[in-house]
Amino acid sequence: MIEYDRVSISLGGQPVLRDISFSIEAGEIFCIIGKSGVGKSVMIKQLVGLLRPDSGAIRFEGQDVCGMDERGLMALRRECGMVFQQATLFDSMTCLENVALPLRVHYDLPEHRAQERAMGYLAQLGVSHLAEREPAALGPGLRKLVAIARTMTLQPKALLFDEPTTGLDPLAARKFDKLVKGPLARAGITQVVVSHDVRSVFDIADRVVMLHEGEVRFLGTSGELSECEDRVVRGFIEGKPEL
Amino acid sequence: MTPPSRPKLSLRASLFGRFSLADTGHDLRPLPQQPKGPISMVMRLGAMGVLLGRTTRLVFSARTDKGDTLRLAHKFANGSAVFIVVAMSFVGMIMVYQSTVQLNRAVGDTQLVGAAFLKLLVRVLGPTVIGMLIACRIGAGIAAEIAAMAVTDQLDALRLCAADPIEVLMVPRLRAGIIAALSLVIIGSCASALAGMTTGVVLFSMSPSTFWNFELIDNADLVQGIAKAFVYGVTVPIVAGAVGLSARGGAAGVGRATTDAVVGCSFAIVVLDSLISLMSHVVAGL
Ligand SMILES: Nc1ncnc2c1ncn2[C@@H]1O[C@H](COP(=O)(O)OP(=O)(O)OP(=O)(O)O)[C@@H](O)[C@H]1O
Ligand SMILES: [Mg+2]
């Protein structure tokens, strides 16, 4: 469903990713791990056209994302939602208005109908009590849940999560894992999760890719990951820095 | 790791570089070297032209609700009304006081002070001085708000809601800017005229009916005044929006964008004022 084909990109004169190739099947839960600054966020931003690779191709359901014009990207972003690392909400709106925005823009729903539907998504994530709060007054964990609700409103076929559990308390993090494995997986949504949380990765991932110094260091199922003998991979999952 | 060779930048990217606001979010990376001086000026102007084109195209087709436009127009106009009324009253007082004093010395006849002042007010003073004030208040506000969204990824988030930032942010601001500029120019000019008249009556014992002399004002003056107000109503949101959308680099970036917007808007207004005056002189001989 999603295919990275020899993707390279450099940012600010520094090469970030080099010759990355792998593909993600429909309905799969796919995790991307790797050290900070290795380019995980860059990886998924390219998929929704927020950054364009220098060379190579990225295909979503067979269509090349890199060649898309604006209209194509708009359509793509309806199918493929993303939750940012910093859980970016619009400060000038309440949480409920934030979640209602895509509905209002897309389905041309009047405000009160959009808000009714938005409320449903907030309730699904257990944060309906935050509806009237300003995002600026919330901590990162709660903001993330609201941002996830906003992404779900467009009922995408694929969801990209950039470090969803970072900043969440352990309970909320496990609740997120449950959401990913439960309702979202049952709905057949392909999920790409960038994560530092090794426990959550083993818990949810069907397959995992590990990036290291701009290249793919490991690609396989989570079972294979736990048995991987590679020095760098072991170091990462056991939390032992190489000296 | 050998760096991959840098691809050739698209024409648009090389033309507009980081000012590529035409953006789908593509090619937002800074150019390897930021151009400086006149080239950067031209690029900025180009980017503003692109933004103007895209916003105008969407003004008629945008699906955003009207509520946004009215709310913003109310905010812009209401927020600046007192400031502009007070400032323009002072401008009126100073103008009438100085011209009466000078005319008294030079000609000894102050019959036409009111008429000349009103004509000047309608053609230049009203739209242009108020345009500058609007650039400070509304321009800085728009630039700061949009720049803050740009540096915190909120624009990307908008794009990911499959919403076009230009449609959602710029269209209502353009509409609201026009409404606010027109109404503020009318209110501010009236305040200035009243303050000028009061000065004439109180300090120089003119009769209000002598001052209130519209003979010198013809339709062309009114058209020019309204045209200027309209053009500034378009210019301020576009210039400020362009600067805001291309902001990068945290709080410092927001600060830079705000300063740039005030400077850019005021400068644009002065230039446009001359252009419109020149054009009406050439076209209609006025
Ligand atoms: N817009 C940009 N312009 C220039 N350089 C960038 C840009 N975005 C990312 N980078 C650089 O690309 C590299 C990878 O960044 P990225 O955010 O993808 O890392 P990450 O793997 O997501 O790390 P983290 O775990 O901290 O989120 C970093 O060195 C960063 O400085
Ligand atoms: Mg990241």
ipTM here:
0.84
Give mean pLDDT, residues B209-238: 92
Contact A158, A150 (CB under 8 A): no
pLDDT of residue B196: 94
Best mean pLDDT range from A188-197, B99-108, B186-195: B186-195
Q: Which of B54, B170, B197 is nearest to A70 (CA)?
A: B54
Distance CA A122, CA A145 (A): 8
What lies within 8 Å, CB to CB, of A160 at 6+ separation is A44, A47, A48, A80, A81, A82, A83, A191, A192, A194
Q: Which of B55, B240, B225, B247 is nearest to B147 (CA)?
A: B247
Q: Tell whether B164 is within 8 A of chain A (Cβ).
A: yes
Alpha helices in B107-247 (DSSP H): 113-120, 130-134, 140-151, 154-160, 165, 171-204, 208-211, 219-245
Rg, C-alpha atoms of chain B: 22
Residue A44 sits in a domain whose CATH number is 3.40.50.300
Atom index in ligand 1 nearest the CA of residue A12 equals: 4
The pLDDT of residue B31 is 42
- Give yes or no for residue B41 having a pLDDT over 80: no
pLDDT at B64: 63
Instruction: Please state, in angstroms and rounded to a whole number, the distance separating the CA atoms of residues B27 and A53.
Output: 10
Does B24 have pLDDT greater than 60? no
pLDDT higher than 50, residue B14: no
Whether A86 sits inside 8 A of B152 (CB atoms) is yes
Q: B149 contacts in A (CB within 8 Å)?
A: 90-91
Cβ neighbours for A149, distance < 8 A, ≥ 6 positions apart: A99, A118, A121, A122, A124, A125, A127
Full-model pTM: 0.84
Q: What is the C-alpha radius of gyration for chain A, rounded to an integer number of angstroms? A: 18
Q: pLDDT tier at B65 (50, 70, 90 boundaries)?
A: low
Calculate how close chain B gets to A32, using CA atoms only, in Å.
20
Number of H helices, E strands in chain A: 10, 10
Evaluate if residue B252 carries a pLDDT over 70: yes
- Let me know: does B128 contact B269? Beta carbons within 8 Å: yes
Six-digit token string for B258: 């705000």
- Indicate the pLDDT class of residue B16, thresholds 50, 70 and 90: very low
- pLDDT for position B9: 42
Residue range B162-173: mean pLDDT, rounded:
87
Q: Determine, for residues A92 and B145 on separate chains, whether the beta-carbon distance falls below 8 Å.
A: yes
The residues, any chain, with a CB within 8 Å of residue B238's CB and separated by 6 or more, are B48, B51, B52, B55, B170, B174
Number of A–B residue contacts, CB under 8 Å: 96
* A contact residues 148-187, partner B, Cβ 8 Å cutoff: 150-151, 154
- The whole-number pLDDT of residue A93 equals 86
Domain count, chain A: 1
What's the mean pLDDT in B172-198?
Answer: 95
Which domain range does residue A221 map to? Answer: 2-88+160-237
Residue A144 lies in a domain: no
Q: Please state at what angle helix B219-245 crosses helix B171-204, rounded to 10 degrees.
A: 130
Mutation to test the A interface, candidates B161, B166, B167, B171, most A Cβ within 10 Å: B161
* A141 within a domain of the structure (yes/no): no
User: Does residue A232 sit at the B interface (CB-CB below 8 Å)?
Assistant: no
Query: Around Cβ B105, how many Cβ atoms within 10 Å?
Result: 8
The runs of H, that is alpha helices, within A108-238 are 111-124, 140-152, 170-179, 185-186, 198-204, 222-227, 231-238
Answer yes or no: is A55 within a domain.
yes
Q: pLDDT per position in chain A (243 positions), as tens?
A: 999 999 999 887 889 999 999 999 999 999 999 999 899 999 999 999 888 888 999 999 999 988 888 788 888 988 999 998 887 898 888 999 999 988 888 787 888 888 999 999 999 888 889 989 999 888 888 888 899 899 989 889 999 999 888 877 888 888 889 889 988 899 899 999 999 888 899 999 999 999 999 999 999 999 999 898 899 999 888 888 765
Nearest CA in chain A to B9: A54
Q: What pLDDT does residue B26 have? A: 37
Closest CA to B221 of B129, B132, B121: B121
Q: Does A137 touch chain B (CB under 8 A)?
A: no
Task: Enumerate the residues of chain B whose CB falls inside 8 A of the CB of residue A90.
Answer: 149, 154, 157-158
- CB neighbourhood size of B137 (10 A): 19
